[in-house]
Structure 1
Amino acid sequence: MSKHEEIREQQDDFNDGLTAAELESLHPADAAETIEGLDIIDQVKFIKQLPIRDAAKSIAEMEDHDQKILIQNLNHGLAARIVEEMAPDDATDLLEDLDEEHRQALLRRVPEEERAELKTLLTFDPDTAGGVMNTEVVILDQDLAPDEAIGQIREQVEDKEVPYYAYLTDRKERLVGVVSLRDLLLAKRGVPLREMVKDQNLITVGYNVDKEEVAHLIAHYNLLALPVVDFGNRLLGVVTVDDVIDIIHEEASEDMQTMVGAGANETTDSPVTFSVKKRIPWLILNVVNSAIAAYVVHLFDATIAAMALLAALMQIVSNQAGNTGQQALAVMIRQLAMEKFDRKKAWFAVLREIKIGVINSALISSMVLAVIFIATGDIMLAGCMAGALIIDMLIGALAGASIPLILKEIGRDPAQASSIFLTTITDSIGFFSFLGLATLFIL
């Protein structure tokens, strides 16, 4: 039996009662999946049976919407203990989703030291390095010897996340270097830690840097964690590789949804009114854009009336160009998401898509020309179809590659409803080119 089958069986049998040992044996991610498959009453029962630490880890693995609903249905005392036990970055993410009154009610029940830390983290923009960083880091004085440092790590590590690195600071709490645990274990006895990092090329990120840029840096330098500093180079926390996985997953989901005009943070659990508000402006815009394409067709009413076959064939032109544009669009958005924006390199990528469009349009138009000529015996109709395909597929490739860059240049999300704009362009140009050529050379 697979792990997912076991989880489903646990969900089905939950009302019969899982033992505490069975609950505690689940990995937090599996426990989160089990919780999400239950109704809210059983979710509360489940959490109450778990030790606070296990409950905190399981809730941290849940989807944001499910997490919020569950916390709202727990009594404030239990919810506050769970928040206290969570990693600071996970607790901050949870608190940000709650309304102000509920957030403050929980914070009042959290011990003063943890409360002050969470309030500080809540001041950072959630889309920046400060908003996703974890403050549970191992900090060592640069003047320590390796053996002393290892002793301090043993004392600190229980209250920290996985200590990939130890961070060295001076007396003014400024970050001066980073050492891995492996380096510490292999270091020579008696040599101060500062000697281990004196020639180090220290890589840090400011707390106000966009989280996507943070993800790019960690991926580029193959880091397990990236230190976050303030303007005085004082260490504030770290962004770890597991946070980056979440960032990349979140951004990919947002891009996919915003391409078609859905809300960036919309899920199947979002309230209907929320989804309607996010989608309706783009649907209205799509109506306007479709009206433009319809008007282009209307301009050639006489042409279509004289040769009804044109009405069927013109859809092939617009669909083919639309698919060509979507391919270029997807590649360009992925490129912008994976790498730091480089204006010169980006526009060279547009030229590349045009070259691909030239080759593909030549191949497709040749094939279509042959098929239509064989089927109808009308070389002029086949030629008009082939010519329109070449024109519209080239326009599709150019538009698909350019729209994300134009949106980026004007400060908008490159993926935002880009497919809607692309469809308008390829439909309008496709109909106009095909029907226009047919008017000139056939009728």
Structure 2
Amino acid sequence: MERADVEDDAEFETNAAEVSLRLCGSDIDSEEFIHAADRAEHLEDLPLSKQVCVLTHLSTEEAAEALAELDEEMAGDVLESMDADDAARLIAEMDPDDAVDILEEVDEDHRDILLSNLPVEDAEQLRNLLTFDPDTAAGVMNTDIITVPLDATVDDAIQLIRSELEEKEMPYYVYVVDEHEILEGVLSLRNLMLARPGTPLAEMVNRQDVIAVQYDTDKEEVARQLAHYNFICLPVVDREEHLMGVVTHDDVLDIIQEEASSDMLGMVGAGQDETVDTPWTKSVHIRLPWLVINMCTSSLSAFIVSLFEGSIAEMALLAVLMPMVANQAGNTGQQALAVMIRQLATESFDAKRSWGAVVRESKIGLGTGLVMALIAYIGVLLLSGNGFLAFVMGVSLLLDMFLGAIAGGAIPLVLRALGRDPAQASSIFLTALTDSGGFFIFLGLATVFLF
């Protein structure tokens, strides 16, 4: 076939693809959507039927890249709606860790159908990965890595990398293994390229320098170690130190973002994996128990206020000032709570250091409380002309802010000691303490000093 004919055929195929995509109701082939992340964002705005249509008419590589960037739950729905052969074609093109994340969202029976349409080796690899807990290192690792034998030379390693690079994950490091696939050393590509030709790899590695994580290490701990050592990848090994795969920096970014979102939602009693696409009935089921708990704690605060009904009746200004005390203390506690949860999420905390952080927060609460108490004293004195009321307001604010700071620092540690997620509904418990404590302190002091 002449060159002109080949070019005409290629142009015809390109035009046909563009027409097909437009029939799907999408302009995803425009220059606006060059990157896979941009394509995925565009797909998220389309209904499911059009998502399937678009991915079917994109090239396999482009469709797989876009699918990998989609939210896992949405991507799972897309796979379930696609023809099994087309879906399997995209799965085979994806990195194993991305493919597993999506397959976990697919109905088990349909997942078996998709895996049966894959090459035997790929299907076996994915089935193996699906057996691991998704919240562990093995659950987020990529197994498409390049390993080089310990008895190879620098030249052998470079040649091996060149021959396998197209089918494997980009090698940031060279993983050196022995004949039993036990990890013996890790070399950076820079060191490999700068090494003298013919140098045996055995002379360049030192097994004692290898930093790896066990396959069942929690993924949050994996993220902490990667950040601590400033690595791009971290090897994953089993109990006998056999190399199983690597966790890459892009996986860690997803972990950090996921955990931050989870903590933020958990603090207020929402579902930690809840999104705007979660069925409303499921959200009701998740949130309702915490709202009931909040109602009970609020009832405690209301009961405390009712004990001082007579004092409030004699001085209506107490009802005006009372919420200010609780609100200020609640804000102080939220600040301490946010700092503590962030610390627990980003690094390991031993018991001594953990409670030392609570002492630090109490000092901050005391310092800020003194300043705010002085401001409140002056403000109430100018407003009411009552020195005793101003004194009660200042002392109450100081004590409740001190209580809020201690509670905000301690609640996550108590929840962790009880085996619960430190972020789970911690804001509800904090509000209960600062409200009930603030009302009791303020109204109690008012009753003692004013009546």
Give the TM bin, normalised by the shorter chain.
over 0.9
Q: Could you list the per-position Cα deviations for residues 356-380 of structure 1 after superposition, in whole angstroms to 9, with x for gaps in the alignment?
A: 1111000000001001101110001
Read off the aligned partner of 1:140 and give its amino acid letter: V
Match of 1:387 among 387, 390, 395: 395
- In the TM superposition, what are the counterparts of 1:37-436 in structure 2 within 5 Å? 37-198=45-206, 201-436=209-444
Residues 39 and 14 of structure 1: CA distance in aligned 2, closer, same or farther (over 3 Å):
farther
The structural deviation recorded for 1:92 is: 0.6
Query: Residue type of the partner of 1:166?
Result: V
Contact 1:65 1:270 in 2 (8 A): no
Report if the CA contact (8 A) 1:365-1:390 is conserved.
Answer: yes
Check conservation: 2:388, 2:449, Cα contact below 8 A.
yes
Pick closer, same or farther for the CA change 1:25–1:384 going to 2, 3 Å.
closer
SS in 2 for 1:97: coil
For residue 11 of structure 2, what is the aligned residue in structure 1?
none
CA distance in 1: counterparts of 2:43 and 2:329, whole angstroms: 46
Provide the residue aligned with 2:5 in structure 1.
Answer: none
Query: Which one-letter code corresponds to 1:285 in the other structure?
Result: I
Aligned residue for 1:233, secondary structure, equals coil
Alpha-carbon distance in structure 2 between the residues aligned to 1:282 and 1:412 = 14
Q: Kindly tell me the number of residue pairs found equivalent between the two proteins.
A: 432
The amino acid of 1:139's aligned partner reads T
1:347 maps to a residue whose letter is W
Residue pair 1:396, 1:426 contacting (<8 A) in 2 also: yes
CA contact (8 A) 2:146 2:164 kept: yes
Q: CA deviation at 1:28?
A: 0.6
Moved over 3 A (4+): 13-25
Contact 1:80–1:110, Cα closer than 8 Å, also in 2: yes
Q: What is the SS of the residue equivalent to 1:203?
A: coil
Q: Secondary structure at the match of 1:136?
A: coil
* 8 Å Cα contact 1:137/1:166 also seen in 2: no
SS in 1 for 2:66: helix
Cα distance, 1:100 vs. partner?
1.0
Alignment CA distance shift 1:369-1:44 (3 Å): same
Question: How much is the aligned-residue C-alpha RMSD, in angstroms?
Answer: 1.7
Provide Cα deviations, 1:54-100, integer angstroms capped at 9, x if missing partner: 11110110112321222222111111111111110011111111121
How far does residue 393 in structure 1 lie from its aligned partner after superposition?
0.5
1:288: how far off?
0.6
Shift of 1:236: 0.3
Summarize deviations over 1:278-318 as a string: whole Å, max 9, x none.
Answer: 11110111111111111111111111111111111100000
Deviations 1:189-243 (A, max 9, x none): 2211111113751100000000000000000000000000000100000000010
Q: Does the CA contact (< 8 Å) of 1:169 and 1:176 recur in 2?
A: yes
CA distance in structure 1 between the aligned counterparts of 2:189 and 2:433, rounded to whole angstroms:
56
Q: AA paired with 1:32?
A: A
Amino acid aligned to 1:40: L
Gap change, CA 1:151 and 1:363, over 3 Å in 2:
same
Secondary structure of the structure 2 residue equivalent to 1:176: strand
- How far residue 22 of structure 1 moved from its aligned partner, in angstroms, is 3.6
Distance 1:56 1:23, change over 3 A: farther
Q: Which moved more, 1:38-47 or 1:55-64?
A: 38-47
Residue 87 of structure 1 contacts residue 136 of structure 1 at CA under 8 Å; is this kept in 2?
yes
Which is further off, 231-240 or 154-163? 154-163
Cα distance in 2 for partners of 1:75, 1:97 equals 17
Q: Is the 8 A contact 2:232 2:248 kept in 1?
A: yes
Q: Does 1:34 align with 2:39?
A: no
1:136: Cα distance to partner?
0.7
- Displacement of 1:24 after TM fit? 11
Q: TM-score, normalised by structure 2?
A: 0.93
Do the aligned partners of 1:20 and 1:50 also contact (CA within 8 Å) in 2? no
Equivalents in 2 of 1:128, 1:134: separation in Å? 12
Distance 2:339 2:27 in 1: 50
**Equivalents in 1 of 2:329, 2:33: separation in Å?**
54
Q: 1: CA distance between counterparts of 2:308 and 2:108?
A: 58
Q: Is residue 23–residue 31 contact of structure 1 (8 Å, CA) maintained in 2?
A: no
Evaluate the alpha carbon distance shift between residue 427 and residue 232 of structure 1 in structure 2; reply closer, same or farther with a 3 A threshold.
same
Deviation string, structure 1 residues 80-136 (Cα, Å, up to 9, x no partner): 111111110011111111121111111111111001000100010000000000001
Q: In structure 2, what is the Cα distance between the partners aligned to 1:59 and 1:195?
A: 43
In structure 1, distance between residues paired with 2:32 and 2:92: 19
Percent identical among aligned pairs is 51
Once the two structures are TM-superposed, the CA of residue 15 in structure 1 deviates from its matched residue by 5.6
Change over 3 Å in CA distance of 1:417–1:19 after alignment to 2: closer
Report if aligned partners of 2:185, 2:207 keep a CA contact under 8 Å in 1. no
- Contact 2:174 2:187 (C-alpha < 8 Å) held by counterparts: yes
Q: CA deviation at 1:141?
A: 0.1
Q: Which runs of 5+ in 1 are unaligned?
A: 1-9
Residue 184 (structure 1) shift: 1.0
In 1, the alpha carbon distance for the partners of 2:142 and 2:166 equals 15
